[in-house]
Structure 1
Amino acid sequence: MNLADRLHHAAGRLGGRAVLTLDGAALTYGALDELSARLAGLLLRRGIGRGDRVAVMLPNVPEFGVVYYGVLRAGAVVVPLDPLLKRREIAAYLGDCGARLLLAWHAFAETAEAGTAGTAADCFFVVPGELPRLLRAVSPERVPARTHADDTAVLHYTSGTTGRPKGVELTHANLAGNAEAVARMHALGVDDVVLGALPLYHTYGQTCSLNATVHAGARLTLLPRFEAGRALEVIRRDGVTVFQGVPTMFIALLDHPGVSDLSMLRVCTSGGAALPLDVLRAYETRAGCRIVEGYGLSETSPVAAANRGGPGRRPGSIGRPIRGVEMRVVGEDGRELPRGEIGEIVVRGPNVMKGYWNDPAATAEALRDGWFHTGDLGRVDDDGFFFLVDRRRDVIIRGGYTVYPREVEEVLYEHPAVRQAAVLGVPHPELGEEVAAVVAVRAPVSGEELRAFVRERVAAYKYPRRITFVAELPTSPTGKILRRELCQLTAPLRR
């Protein structure tokens, strides 16, 4: 079993249809299959084969698909890297995984070359127009390498929003099964056009956009960098029917003056971070489209649970587990808690990772008792819908009282001036922790006004005593708030 088989089979049915487009450029299924087969031939000629790690540092361009499926086709392991990484970060990742090669976009050549210096990896630059010419001289590997279902296909490094990034080993079976589940759940078909706004180097973009699109025989129209006005233009120009995004994208679109009727979108999904309920409701009333939330982590390939459209949707919930996946809410002792009680969400199923790269202790800790322990706190209602409460490590204990940041953030988002909000605990000499908020606004508002607004709506110990205003909250490309950077922003409050 090889994940690249999906492309190979799709090309046999849909050879002349476009699979990847970027403005005026297009790659058909047949061309993508052929170019990836030749890239696999190039890798094999360089002595790279089954199990070797190949780092890929490309933006959302059609060449990403060529490289991604080419590496898989050779039986090697894809190590996707953010193209905006700096020299030191690149060197750390390459050194950790022992990559043999870094395939980097030409625009990042200087940084990529500096990052490979002192590592075992060679550097190869991907230049648009030149790559097909180069590959024409290479014999193609028509049949993808024979790999086992449990062989590692992709080595994803976690975002490291709270600590040292870990390499997540996802197998061919993990990724193929999750892509199939997404395509089936959203009824993706050959007439669908998916907006490729999610970064393809992240598991969310790879599984839900790239691999699910190929599985369904649909088309992925790429957006190298998300900008609200540009996204609206592409949605309307290309007849996009499926928009998969993160909360920061949906918030940016709402703030754009050009947003109006988006009823042409058949499927709208949000993941990567919790979507404020106020944003979800605004899309229904202002844009005429519904957003369904999903849930998952890199370690779950990534989708573990999702809302469905129509009666299978419950606003504010992350939905139910997808087919073949089990989820529970457990206490400190690992036992399942009664419905409605808050505990840690654990996951079991074919989507759960093989383990953390070269980290048996972390793997054993995360996969104990046969379940993947997410570190997320949640609850499940009587109908089996799961609700995400917060990350365990983000919970604030103020004077012995428990404060869940997301609950306070939801209230802040209800204020019309608030565009982004994050709540965290800062050290306090008597209380242990104090509640603080970091806020980006769309209209003038004072800290005292926001404090009063929240104080009227939550218990007295929950409202933020301290509020810091910023132009933008620091977020990862998948919309997760970078908590470490928030701590730096609130550092003056600690003194």
Structure 2
Amino acid sequence: MTNLATLLTASASAHGDRIAVRHETTALTYARLDDLSARTAALLQTRGVRPGDRVAVIMPNVPHFPVAYYGILRAGAVVVPLNPLLKAREIAFALRDCGARTVLTSPMSAAEAAEAAADTEADCLVVEPAGFDALLDAAVPLPGVAEAKDSDLAVILYTSGTTGTPKGAELTHRNLLGNAATAVQTLFHIRPDDVLFGGLPLFHAFGQTCALNTAVAAGATLTLLTRFDPAAALETIRRDAVTVLLGVTTMYAALLHAELPEGFDAPRLRLAVAGGASLPVEVLHGFESRFGVDVLEGYGLSETSPVAAFNPPDRPRKPGSIGLPVRGVELRLVREDGTTAGPGEVAEIAIRGENVMAGYHNRPSATAEAIRDGWFHTGDLARVDEDGYHFIVDRKKDLIIRGGYNVYPREVEEVLYAHPAVAEAAVVGVPDAVLGEEVAAVVVLRPGAHTTAEEIRDHVKAEVAAYKHPRVVRLADALPKGPTGKILKREIAVPPDTP
């Protein structure tokens, strides 16, 4: 049996009395998490969920997320985690695309989720502590775990390129089990007495594999932070004696510059793991000096479950590098002609291994373009040194990473083009000292149209999640174009302080 939910059942059997999940004053033991997930599986079945069905989870980092996650898997269904900041339009697209028949949502997302569910005829269940827990208490726990093959889908993670609508990366039980096992055994060396920091969003691949599944696989504790704030993060690290810190660049920068509480101490902190975007070397060294812990950088994508490369703890570390391919994974740098690049040469990263997704849901052409001869082509450019360590150089795609969140320009541009005054639009990333990148839009108005940058910004803000809308909007007379009329984003320069 290879169902991903066996991570929980095995740890519940071996470590039933240990704390699996903490969140503020709430603590769930492995035995309790196991029981609640079994009751969730039973509840879903009574509402018509069958093996293979898609169930969306729209929640922040709260204990009900792992309850729902493993409950869906136990029932043999497929988890579709969605960002709780999404608007109804965005949620409805994902529900319709994957065919989700059920939505589990937290109160904070209930209104948007309910609107999207009504639009797609999905069953929407609000997971609020009192009412939902009463439903679980009345449910008879589902015995065992639904059988699953290695190749069966466990999770669909929505991502997108810069030239289309969001795509659902299909991750199998084998993909996610293998990546979690690799993280536990060879990368982080997680033990049952470890406490992992849960400030990464669990709907994202990084938080899901490296925090949730890794902690559960080892029988360790995951301490959740609903919304990252440096002061709250420092208090969580101190209060819960965190041993392994997981974060993105902006988190490390915020913790580096945050005021330490009087008497702050983190004697058990033994490892910090960075991913999501390149960590500036000065931030890395500053963090290590301040907190007395090594920071190890890695690399991955939603399509690779996500970890593909990491600075191994038992080998020399190279700051600024994403490290070496992890166990069960191969990396090669591919030139435009398909040949393999040599040391020092910049080329596109291609990945092959047990972590690579099955494909994009209902997107055969996109899958064929991304996975060629068994190699997933990432769109990221890198070089490799003589020791096999990889260094990210640039992103071939136009992806914007704002505060650790992926923002895809095409999606925002579609909303801009829906504005009646807009003739042309381009969305690009501009440097930001705090967030890494900020979202900027350059807009050309239709002849005779009149509007303001603020009004355009408000238009987009109403249609997309808060982290996606452009804080910087510039009205221009024209956009640079190539011979075929294609907008040349590389020639668009937008100062960060543009009004």
TM-score (norm 1): 0.80
- Which sections of structure 1, spanning at least 5 residues, go unmatched? 396-404, 407-423, 425-432, 443-480
Secondary structure in 2 aligned to 1:274?
coil
Quick one: which amino acid aligns to residue 84 of structure 1?
A: L
Q: What are the equivalent positions in structure 2 for 1:95-494 lying under 5 Å apart?
A: 95-158=96-159, 163-184=164-185, 185-258=187-260, 264-309=268-313, 311-394=315-398, 437-440=430-433, 485=470, 489=473
Could you tell me which amino acid in structure 1 is paired with residue 243 of structure 2? T
- The one-letter code of the counterpart of 2:184 is A
Q: Is the 8 A contact 2:250 2:434 kept in 1?
A: no
The offset of 1:159, in angstroms, is 5.6
Q: CA deviation at 1:274?
A: 1.2
After superposition, the C-alpha distances for 1:324-372 in whole angstroms (9 at most, x for unaligned) are 1100011011111111100000000000000000000000010012200
Q: Secondary structure at the match of 1:136?
A: helix
Counterpart amino acid of residue 9 in structure 1: A
Write the distance in 2 (CA, Å) between the matches of 1:21 and 1:237: 11
1:312 match: secondary structure: coil
Sequence identity (%): 53
CA distance in 1, matches of 2:398, 2:114: 37
Structure 1 segments (4+ residues) deviating >3 Å: 159-163, 259-264, 435-442, 488-495
Gaps of 5+ in 2: 402-408, 410-425, 436-466, 480-499
Q: Quick one: distance in 1 between partners of 2:144 and 2:252?
A: 41
Change (3 A) 1:261 1:162: farther
Q: Distance in 2 between matches of 1:45 and 1:439?
A: 49
Contact between 2:162 and 2:397, CA under 8 Å: does it hold in 1? no
One-letter identity of the residue aligned with 1:267 = L
Distance verdict in 2 for CA 1:490–1:174, change over 3 Å = farther
Report the 3-state secondary structure (helix = DSSP H, G, I; strand = E; otherwise coil) of the residue aligned with 2:166: coil
The C-alpha deviation readout for 1:70-89, integer Å capped at 9, x for no partner, is 00000000000111111111
Query: Residues of 2 paired with 1:105 and 1:437: CA distance?
Result: 33
Corresponding residue for residue 92 of structure 2? 91
Give distance in 1, aligned partners of 2:212 and 2:339.
Answer: 37
One-letter code aligned to 2:365? A
Letter in 2 for 1:307: N
- Give the conservation status (yes or no) of the 8 Å contact 2:334–2:350: yes
* Displacement of 1:155: 0.5
1:462 — aligned with what? none
Report the counterpart of residue 16 of structure 2 in structure 1: 15
Cα separation, partners in 2 of 1:220 and 1:141, compared to 1, 3 Å: same
CA contact (8 A) 1:339 1:380 kept: yes
Alpha carbons 1:190, 1:219 under 8 Å: kept: yes
Q: Are 1:263 and 1:289, in contact at CA under 8 Å, matched by a contact in 2?
A: no
- SS at 1:201 equivalent: coil
Return closer, same or farther for 1:361/1:6 CA change in 2, 3 Å cut-off: same
TM-fit CA distance, 1:439:
3.5
Q: CA deviation at 1:113?
A: 1.0
The AA in structure 1 aligned to 2:75 is: A
- Secondary structure (helix, strand or coil) at the match of 2:103 reads strand
Q: Deviations over 1:38-67 (max 9, x none)?
A: 111111122211111000001101111110
Which one-letter code corresponds to 1:196 in the other structure?
A: G
Please, which moves more after superposition, 79-88 or 347-356? 79-88
Q: Do the aligned residues in 1 keep the contact of 2:199 with 2:225 (CA within 8 Å)?
A: yes
Instruction: Show the counterpart of 1:44.
Output: 45
Secondary structure (helix, strand or coil) at the match of 1:365 reads helix
CA deviation string 1:206-261 (max 9, x = no partner): 10000000000100000000000000001001100001000011111112111776
Is contact 1:95-1:120 (8 Å) kept?
no
Offset, 1:394: 4.6
Task: Give 3-state SS (helix, strand or coil) of 1:388's partner.
Answer: strand
CA drift at 1:262: 5.2
Hey, what's the Cα distance between the residues in 2 that align with 1:78 and 1:46? 16
Stretch deviating more after TM superposition (351-360 or 260-269):
260-269
Q: What SS is found at the alignment partner of 2:245?
A: strand
SS at match of 1:292: strand
Counterpart residue type for residue 393 of structure 1: K
| Contact 1:197–1:226 (Cα < 8 Å) also in 2 | yes
Aligned to 2:58: 57
**Structure 1 contact 263–288 (Cα < 8 Å) conserved:** no
The one-letter code sitting in structure 1 at the alignment partner of 2:328 is: G
Q: Secondary structure at the match of 1:289?
A: coil
Contact 1:98 1:120 in 2 (8 A): no
Q: CA RMSD in A?
A: 2.6
Determine the C-alpha separation between the residues in 1 that align with 2:127 and 2:432: 40
